[in-house]
């Protein structure tokens, strides 16, 4: 059989039609999409800090939170920053007595990021932090965040107070 331009066009049409048929029959439900955010909580017996906790300068504390995901956890972070301006975060539920608004001179700032190895679906964050003796006392936020392997993220923020 000799192929001329007419035969080639016919073969190409059949090939494209067959390809489209195969693609259109592919079931989208066969792809296991992750549509759930991971969860994070400090609301358990060892969770720390709880809302309105007072932390003393010079002391070491174990910051603990439980994180879970339906598929796979990827990373988490801890962020401790001053709240001398009385700002809020979306998920704060505990209202604490705040000191007067003030200017920061030497505030505590901790931003630490960690990977979660091993395709885990649950993990307990446990980060030892020593509160420096020379930082400003007052109102602070402790914010945890967790990210799963597909990029979903959850976070929680807790009001704390650093004292002498």
Rounded CA-CA distance 129/118 in Å is: 25
Question: Per-residue pLDDT tens for 128-139?
Answer: 999 999 999 999
Q: Stretch 129-153: mean pLDDT, rounded?
A: 97
Question: Per-residue pLDDT tens for 55-104?
Answer: 999 999 999 999 999 999 999 999 999 999 999 887 766 778 999 999 99
If one compares 29 and 127, the residue with the highest pLDDT of the two is 127
Fold observed for domain 39-163: Immunoglobulin-like (2.60.40)
Where do the domains of the chain lie? 39-163
Q: How many CA atoms lie less than 13 Å away from 35 in the CB half-sphere? A: 3
Provide the 3-class DSSP secondary structure of residue 8.
Answer: helix
Give residue for tokens 């039609």: 17
Measured over the CA atoms of residue 124, residue 128, residue 132 and residue 133, the dihedral's sign is positive
Retrieve residue 13's tokens.
Answer: 């049409």
């Amino acid at each position: 059989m000799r192929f001329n331009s007419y035969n080639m066009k016919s073969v190409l049409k059949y090939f494209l039609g067959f390809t489209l048929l195969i693609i259109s029959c592919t079931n989208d439900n066969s792809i296991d999409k992750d549509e759930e955010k991971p969860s994070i909580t400090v609301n358990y017996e060892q969770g720390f800090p709880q809302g309105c906790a007072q932390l003393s300068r010079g002391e070491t504390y174990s910051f603990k939170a439980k994180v879970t995901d339906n598929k796979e956890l990827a990373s988490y972070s801890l962020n401790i920053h001053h709240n001398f301006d009385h700002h809020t975060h979306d998920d704060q539920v505990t209202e604490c007595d705040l000191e007067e608004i003030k200017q920061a001179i030497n505030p505590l700032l901790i931003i630490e990021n960690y990977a979660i190895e091993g395709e885990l679906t649950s993990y307990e964050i446990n980060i030892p932090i020593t509160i420096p003796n020379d930082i400003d006392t007052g109102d602070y936020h402790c914010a945890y965040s967790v990210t799963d392997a597909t990029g979903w993220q959850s976070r929680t923020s807790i009001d704390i107070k650093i004292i002498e």
